[in-house]
Structure 1
Amino acid sequence: MSRFQRVRDNLRRAYDSGRESVRQARADEGVAGRPEPDDDFEPPPRPPEVVHDSTISQDDAEVPHSLRIAAAWSWRLIVVGVVGWALLHFVGIVSFVVIPLAIALLLSALLAPAVGWLLRLKLNRSLATFLVLIFGLAVIAGTLTLVISQFIDGAAELTQKASDGVRQIQQWLKTGPLHLSDAQVTQAINNAQDWVNAHTSQLTSTGIATAATLFEVVTGMLLVLFSTFFFLRDGRKIWRFIVRLLPVNARWSVADAGDASWATLGSYVRATVLVAFIDAVGIGTALVILKIPFPFPLAALVFLGAFIPIVGASVSGAVAVLVALVDQGWVIALIVLGAVILVQQVEGHVLQPLIMGRAVAIHPLVVIIGIACGATLAGIIGALVAVPLIAVLNTGVRRLSRSRPEVPPNAVVVGGTSATN
């Protein structure tokens, strides 16, 4: 053995003996620091840890389950309420843009089948959209012109008959079951005049504000026209662009819900137009038979009012009853009222279930609440848009929450990303 090997073996033995001495010293120190066992004392057993799927700490586990669920619902509802309030506030700020866009969507849903029919005739998409839009504007302008002209032509006669009707009411108040005296009737008339005089400034300011917003109304109408044109021509491209902004996993679901919602909106608008036309024909026929003045303008008013379900047609029918009362008296007015009620019953029990169908079926209570909320938030436009908005959201949420068939664990999915493209 060489000298170098002997030195290496000596170093190796010295290193091993040093490590063994260190291990023995550590073992002796641990035994010396350990307390002596006491037979009279036994440590209490550790309580089992409570594990809940809905908790992340022991403190949460001490809270009752029902309280935790209520708190979870509460803060989530608060977040949703704050977001909803902020969204409504933002819509109120940009209502000058939102309202024309909403009207343009309704018009696009109504006119889209006509554009599709012209496209099947091999017309250019821009030309087909332009022709449909021009034809629709001509129909609306012609109808409004006819209605306004008839109202203007008969305004003097209607005013005279309204004065006669007021005198008849005064006479009925004296000779009817109320038996009011001349002084009481005069006092009631004076109170009405005082109310009008007291609110003259408010009425005048409202008129001035309305005149000041004439430019905004014209601008909004132009925005409706341009938006309707581009929705009809490029609506599919716009929707695809919006869907591509979403995450890949959500594109197919959102696109499917959007297509179903658009179909629901189109069905609702077309069914509403048909129901409104039938209401106008029914009430207009009754007015013609009973020889009530302005039958066509009143029928047109019923047609426009029917776009607000349940409420609109009733209010416009009440106007027809008032005109009949002024012109023909109580008996004819009651007959017109019966005709209006009959038409409303046919609409509610036959036309709505038959024409609307299950695609846009909404409970009447939801319709009333939606109209009330829409009218409170945005006036007539809100009442007009509330029901189709509820129908669209109903269809979209149902389609998004629709359950899909589960994929077996051992299944192999081939081309899983193809559905999102």
Structure 2
Amino acid sequence: MPAQQDLAYFTRQVLIVLALLTVLVLFWALTPVLMLVFGAIVVAALLLSLSGLLRHAVPMPHGIALAIVLVVSTGGLCLLLWMFGAQATRELATLTDSLPAAYAQFQQWLGQTSVGSLVQEQLATIGDNMGRIASSAGAIAMTVSSGTIDLFLVLVGAIYIAAQPEMYRNGLLHLVPPSAKAAATDALDASGRALRLWLGGQLVAMVAVGILTGLGLWMLGVPAAFALALIAFLLDFVPIIGPIAAAIPGILLAFTVSPQVGFATIALYVVLQQLESNVLQPLIQQRAVELPPALLLFSLVIFGSLQGAAGLLLAAPLTVVVYVLVKRLYVRELLGGETAVPGEHG
């Protein structure tokens, strides 16, 4: 009898391990789909924030507020495309055509300086990588249709989630055991608030960086200043890595004007980065989540390595959500009491 009980216990343990492995394999296989779902949640959180602001200013039903936000957002985007679309297209084309020559000119100028020999080898490696990326442009172009479909799914999913957020929230909570439902509800609400506040603050920072970058480059006489400002605005959504990547084409084009303009452009990007890091971000983090920089950097590297551009784009908001969930579910339980989570109030 004891032998049969031991066998039954061992069998249960093996089945549990196999079930966990199956769940992990399934989770890994569905990771691209889960990234699309989280992308829809991020866009839905932004829509809910905007509709919430509208309802706070003018009391109205949630559905009407969401519809107004969608109409205004779509109309505003169409208006911007009508006003600046042609200019942005021309300058982006100019930027694409000018960057290889700008890089070659920068290499030539650098080779004539006293420090040129110290970095020439590294620049050659970067140039080889850029060449490989350029040679794969055809393969990248073939994935545009897939990316367009993914974007469409994210936008449609975001509208559905934003239209009935309570239904999806309650459905998710139904998967939680009754004994843990109160803690899960609290953690889910806290992470949602933190995500909405982070997105709002990040959008303000992106607009400020884009405008200041465009004005600064235009005053310095750097070509394609509008396109470079648009790149700075978009890439600023990715913390740490995005601003650095946005500065590279601006600096290269600035050196085609003159070394003085090139160094002034480097100073401009450094000043803007310091302004964002020391002024804008602290103001944002007062009401949102103050993420440790090292944690954010490693999350960008990990998700970028695992999921490419999508992982890099969603790494920061995903880190915000996971960070708050861990503090609410694990740290509070570990300390046996309340833990303050930024973004919980206000």
Normalising by structure 1, what TM-score? 0.63
1:387 equivalent in structure 2: 316
Amino acid in the other structure paired with 2:202: T
Aligned residues: 310
Q: Say if 2:91 and 2:227, in contact at 8 Å, map to a contact too.
A: no
Structure 2 unaligned blocks of 5 or more: 1-16, 118-122, 339-346
Of 70, 83, 86 in structure 2, the residue corresponding to residue 133 of structure 1 is: 70
1:296 equivalent in structure 2: 226
Amino acid in the other structure paired with 1:362: L
Matched, 1:314 2:244: yes
Normalising by structure 2, what TM-score? 0.76
Q: CA 1:368–1:157 in structure 2 vs 1: closer, same or farther (change >3 Å)?
A: closer
Q: CA 1:241–1:361 in structure 2 vs 1: closer, same or farther (change >3 Å)?
A: same
Q: Matched residues in 2 for 1:372 and 1:244: separation? A: 34
1:109 equivalent in structure 2: 45
Q: Matched residues in 2 for 1:174 and 1:367: separation? A: 36
1:360 is paired with a residue whose SS is: coil
1:265-297 deviation per Cα after TM superposition (whole angstroms, max 9, x unaligned): 011111111111222222222112112222222
Of 87, 90, 94 in structure 2, the residue corresponding to residue 153 of structure 1 is: 90
Q: Say if 1:99 and 1:381, in contact at 8 Å, map to a contact too.
A: yes
2:300 equivalent in structure 1: 371
Amino acid in the other structure paired with 2:261: I
Matched, 1:274 2:211: no
Amino acid in the other structure paired with 1:333: G
Amino acid in the other structure paired with 1:276: M
Amino acid in the other structure paired with 1:382: G
1:250 is paired with a residue whose SS is: helix
1:147 is displaced (CA, Å) by 6.1
Amino acid in the other structure paired with 1:153: R
Q: CA 1:174–1:377 in structure 2 vs 1: closer, same or farther (change >3 Å)?
A: closer
1:307 is paired with a residue whose SS is: coil
Q: Matched residues in 2 for 1:175 and 1:148: separation? A: 40
1:84 is displaced (CA, Å) by 9.1
Q: Which moved more, 1:138-147 or 1:103-112?
A: 138-147
Q: Which moved more, 1:310-319 or 1:331-340?
A: 310-319
Of 255, 269, 286 in structure 1, the residue corresponding to residue 216 of structure 2 is: 286
1:228 is paired with a residue whose SS is: helix
Identity score, percent: 25
Q: Say if 2:102 and 2:253, in contact at 8 Å, map to a contact too.
A: no
Select the structure with the greater relative contact order (CA < 8 A; seq sep ≥ 6): 2
Of 174, 180, 187 in structure 2, the residue corresponding to residue 244 of structure 1 is: 174
Amino acid in the other structure paired with 2:291: I
1:22-74 deviation per Cα after TM superposition (whole angstroms, max 9, x unaligned): xxxxxxxxxxxxxxxxxxxxxxxxxxxxxxxxxxxxxxxxxxxxxxxxxxxxx
Q: Matched residues in 2 for 1:359 and 1:84: separation? A: 36
Q: Say if 1:96 and 1:220, in contact at 8 Å, map to a contact too.
A: no
1:104-131 deviation per Cα after TM superposition (whole angstroms, max 9, x unaligned): 2111222212222444545443343233
2:5 equivalent in structure 1: none
Structure 1 unaligned blocks of 5 or more: 1-78, 181-187, 407-421
Q: Say if 1:254 and 1:400, in contact at 8 Å, map to a contact too.
A: yes
Matched, 1:330 2:259: yes
1:162 is displaced (CA, Å) by 5.6
1:341 equivalent in structure 2: 270
Q: CA RMSD in A?
A: 3.7
